[in-house]
Amino acid sequence: MRRLEASDLLALWERGAPRHALDRSALLCAWARPDVPADAVADLPLGTVTAALLRLRTETFGARIRAHVDCERCGERLELNLAAGELLQPVDDDAVAPREIEVGGLRVRAPSLRDLAAVSRERDAEHAARLILERCMRHDGRADVVLPEAGLRQVEDALEAIDPNADLAFDVRCAVCGHEGCAQLDAGELLWDEIDARARALLGEVHLLARAYGWTEGEVLGLSGARRAAYLAMVAA
Provide the percentage of residues in the chain whose pLDDT is more than 70.
92
| Comparison of pLDDT for 109 and 18, the residue scoring more | 18
Reported pTM: 0.89
What are phi and psi for residue 127, nearest 5 degrees?
-65, -40
pLDDT in tens, 29-86: 999 999 999 999 999 999 999 999 999 999 999 999 998 899 989 999 999 888 888 8
Let me know: does 205 contact 225? Beta carbons within 8 Å: no
Going by C-beta distance under 8 Å and a sequence separation of 6 or more, which residues neighbour residue 150?
none
